[in-house]
Amino acid sequence: MAEFEPQIVAFCCNWCTYAAADLAGTSRVHYPPNVRIVRVMCSSMVNPLYVLKAFEGGADGVLVAGCHHSDCHYIDGPVKCDATVDKLRKVLHVLGLEDERLRRELVAASEGVVFARIIKEMVEQLKKIGPSPFKVKTEALA
Amino acid sequence: MEEIRIGVYICHCGFNIAGVVNVEEVAKYAATLPSVVISREYRYMCSDPGQDLIKNDIKKLGLNRVVVASCSPRMHEPTFRKAVADGGLNPYLYEHANIREHCSWVHDDKELATKKAKDLVRAAVKRVYRHEPLVVKEAPLNPNVLVVGGGIAGMQAALDIANGQNKVYLVERDPSIGGHMIQLDRTFPTLDCSECILTPKMSDVGHHPFIELFTYSEVEEVSGSIGNFKIKVRKKARHIDESKCIGCNVCEEKCPWKTDSEFEMGLAKRKAVYIPFAQAIPHLAVVDPNLCAYIKSDGKKCGACIKVCEAQAITPETLLKQTDQIVEFDVGTIIVATGYDQFDPSVIPQYGYGKYDNVLTGLHFERMTCAAGPTGGKILLKDGREPERIALVHCVGSRDQNYHEYCSRVCCMYALKYAHLAKELSKADVYQFYIDMRCFGEGYEEFYKRCSEEGVNFIRGKVAKITDEALSDEEKGKLVVISEDTLLGKLVRVPVDMVILCSALEARSDAENVARIFNLNRRADGFFLERHVKLDPVATPTDGIFIAGCCEGPRDIPDTVAQAEATAAKALSLISKGTITTEAAVSTVDESICHGCGRCEEICAFHAPKVASKNGTLVSSINETLCKGCGACAVVCPTGAISIKHFTQDEILAEVAALTEVS
């Protein structure tokens, strides 16, 4: 059986983390191809529904990443996003999803290397904890 | 409803994408997706023929949605939106898939990269299906400009803009404009006197009919956006009547209270009432309320200045009652030129700065060699003797993993200047301890050669320690510079009388606060981040705000001036156009669902939503000129009445669903 390859959906703010992922590309800093990035204008735009939708679809992990608290293009977006993620964690707990499956990170536009490192870490960690229980169920039904 | 007809274009970007991603396979795959009418791959989609493919297909095939999969949308989304608009569609009926920066450049497994590219294209197709046409509105741009910082960068930018007869508000924190440059003695490599070339500019700024100067003032608040910023400035109390002060200096002569002069780097004293330096603009006295005995005793002590001020600019009233003033005005564009701090070498204890009297920094030496400075242009030790040997230590706080990794760019050159001046103004032998000599600018290498021929000793190596512990008679009473000489491959001990630490330029200690006020991003090293390091070096991620000079990183005077002029050109081009386009992807409220609960009002940092009574019920409405489209309101809206145009819940859910589908 092939090794389990986790599927990650990353919500990245346009100004910082999306730009950091661009910088990782420009600097050719490689990371595993398990991640798919959704560009949002601000991390505070990430609705809990989007994260739940990703898990429902079978994502093994979700990254919500944006500017550092002092860098926000919209003044205090990261604070609002932190609040959303905190609430979301409780919901995931009730749903029986491991805490590690949702990761919240602050990655500045200059931190391409940091972005690549985070993806590598997530992939390794998700490989350890295995496929999302949602994914297993979806596949079993099919 | 009109039939959705999508065109998908996969860019090779030469080998940049096609070298890793199988573009033909991706294009074939895209053709199988619902509503995709045409799917093509092309070598360079951003080229004119590439864009023509899109324009022609829109006309011939009746496309009403377009997806391009190429580089980052931060690079070419505007290009393709324009192509789509030229083809006759609304530019927002376009979606971009990033298969270069986020795919081919970061992955090497061709199969997995191709699979990822397909996923990204599928998600873009699902998303574009749901895009709605949006209207970009034009709004007038306020032609006034705010320049923050009265150093050479700020002054140059202000003059360029004001010379075009546009109003400039120049805000400087210190009591006088001039910045660090007015503290410098001579400028490398030409050795022309800094004051002589700067004071005419300072005077021009001070008297310019189109420049309104706020010195001893700080910007406290900036709100609004490009075209219409609202500015709040705190004008600190000078405790004198500015309209009456004639700058005669008599108050300063009579004032009995002294402290270290900031301008003279503590090498001389100033009084509690003082004019910072001889050529200060505006030439007005300022009272230091923390030192003035009259203010501190609430009028019971001293008052010497009041008695001698014939112009009656200093009175009990100005000293005791004058308070900070808040001034408000509107501008359309902002130039931030807040400069740098000199690295404080006392954090490197082995260099003995602050411990040994004759270990000084570059700015101390600048004041010392200046003819109008505290020593009258003589290089003197603390005890008044002339030094016999001077050491110049390069890269203090820069090119050092413990402090700043970056090269501070100007230190090699100013160290060479000091070597030359030490030779000119004293009989001292000069030793330069350097890692590499970086003499990159016009006339710089030639200046290096000139100094080498003047008999300066160059020792290649990083200084390990500066000590007064003598190991020989020769070292007694001296400062011993201990360093490796990497060219000889041995440790050297050089006894000297004076050490000049060529301290790095670093980001201002309050750069974080300034970044917050002006919504700027900072790099890891603390300096402000430009929009694009190569192709947009003076713009910032915030439209209408530009950065110039050392607030963006260490640079010399010619580069600073060129950059300041670039920011002026940016501002002038906006002023010349006269209008700005407003953000189209903003919040919108479905009034039929809104309950007027006000959560959106609470969360918005820009005061865009307002709840008001409409036909007897409370509903929220969005002020589109204030809305920046961050989307926070839509997340907290309990009824789902708020959505962000172009980033609707429906669109993002479709994108997420498409990304997790198995291709």
Q: Are B245 and B223 in contact (CB under 8 A)?
A: no
Partner residue facing A57 (CB), from B106, B632, B656: B656
User: A98-110 pLDDT, tens per residue?
Assistant: 999 999 999 988 8
String of b and e for B196-235 (b: at least 16 CB within 10 Å)?
A: eebbebbebbbebebbbbbbbbbbeebebbbbbbebebbb
Partner residue facing B656 (CB), from A15, A48, A50: A50
| B659/A38 Cβ within 8 A | yes
List Cα–Cα distances, B404 to B514, B524, B553, in angstroms: 21, 10, 12
- For β-strands B359-361 and B498-503, DSSP reports them as parallel
Count Cβ–Cβ pairs < 8 Å, chain A vs chain B.
153
Residue among B649, B652, B663 with most chain A CBs within 10 A, to mutate: B652
Sheet containing A102-106, strands listed edge to edge, beginning at the edge strand earlier in sequence: A35-40, A8-13, A61-66, A102-106
| B628/A73 Cβ within 8 A | yes
Residue owning tokens 């004051």: B195
Using CA coordinates, name the residue in chain A closest to B104: A25
User: CB-based contacts of A85: which residues, under 8 Å, 6+ apart?
Assistant: A64, A102, A104
Residue A1 has what pLDDT? 55
User: CB-based contacts of B305: which residues, under 8 Å, 6+ apart?
Assistant: B251, B254, B255, B273, B287, B294, B314
Using CA coordinates, name the residue in chain B closest to A84: B635
Residue B208 has what pLDDT? 98
Element (H, E) at B228: strand B228-235
Q: Are B359 and B400 in contact (CB under 8 A)?
A: no
3-state secondary structure of A141: helix
Judged by a CB distance cut-off of 8 A, whether residue B647 touches chain A is: yes
| A47/B634 Cβ within 8 A | yes
How many other C-beta atoms are found inside a 10 Å radius of the C-beta of residue B110? Answer: 13
Residue B223 has what pLDDT? 78
- Whole-angstrom distance, CA of residue B31 vs CA of residue B267: 76
Residue A141 has what pLDDT? 56
User: Distance (Å) from the C-alpha of residue B516 to the closest C-alpha of chain A?
Assistant: 6
Smallest CA-to-CA distance from B542 within B510, B486, B580, B503 is with: B580
**DSSP state, B45?**
T
| A29/B106 Cβ within 8 A | yes
- Whole-angstrom distance, CA of residue B154 vs CA of residue B620: 42
User: CB-based contacts of A94: which residues, under 8 Å, 6+ apart?
Assistant: none
3-state secondary structure of A15: coil
Residue B285 has what pLDDT? 97
Q: Are B335 and B145 in contact (CB under 8 A)?
A: yes
Q: DSSP string covering B480-533, please?
A: EEEEEETTTTEEEEEEESEEEEEEPEEE-TTHHHHHHHHT--B-TTSSBPPSBT
Residues of chain A with pLDDT under 50: none
How many other C-beta atoms are found inside a 10 Å radius of the C-beta of residue B150? Answer: 30
Residue owning tokens 């204890």: B349
- Whole-angstrom distance, CA of residue B574 vs CA of residue B568: 10
Residue among A14, A45, A51, A138 with most chain B CBs within 10 A, to mutate: A45
Partner residue facing A9 (CB), from B98, B107, B656: B656
| A49/B649 Cβ within 8 A | yes
Partner residue facing A38 (CB), from B521, B635, B656: B656
**Mean pLDDT, each 10-residue run in order, chain B (663 residues):** 93 96 98 97 96 97 97 94 96 97 96 97 97 91 98 98 98 97 96 95 97 97 85 97 95 96 96 96 96 96 95 96 97 98 97 97 97 94 96 97 96 97 95 96 95 94 96 96 96 98 97 86 88 88 92 97 98 96 90 95 91 93 88 96 96 96 67
3-state secondary structure of B454: coil
Residues of A in contact with B632 (CB under 8 A): 42, 44-45, 74, 77, 80
Residue A139 has what pLDDT? 57
Residue owning tokens 């005005």: B329
Domains, chain B, with CATH or none: 6-134 (3.40.50), 145-229+330-339+508-582 (3.50.50.60), 250-321 (no CATH), 343-504 (3.50.50.60), 587-645 (3.30.70.20)
Judged by a CB distance cut-off of 8 A, whether residue B603 touches chain A is: yes
**DSSP state, B356?**
B
| B512/A70 Cβ within 8 A | yes
Residues of A in contact with B657 (CB under 8 A): 53, 57
- For β-strands B587-589 and B642-644, DSSP reports them as antiparallel
- Name beta bridge partners: B644: B587
Residues of A in contact with B635 (CB under 8 A): 44-48, 80, 84
> For residue B304, how far is the Cα from the chain centroid?
43
Residue B113 has what pLDDT? 97
Residue A137 has what pLDDT? 58
Query: Can you state the percent helix, strand and coil of chain A, rounding each to 5?
Result: 50, 15, 35
Q: Give the predicted TM-score (pTM) of the model.
A: 0.78
**DSSP state, B387?**
P
Residues of B in contact with A110 (CB under 8 A): 523-524, 529
Residue B470 has what pLDDT? 96
Judged by a CB distance cut-off of 8 A, whether residue B652 touches chain A is: yes
Question: ipTM of this model?
Answer: 0.96
Structure tokens at A126: 């998700």
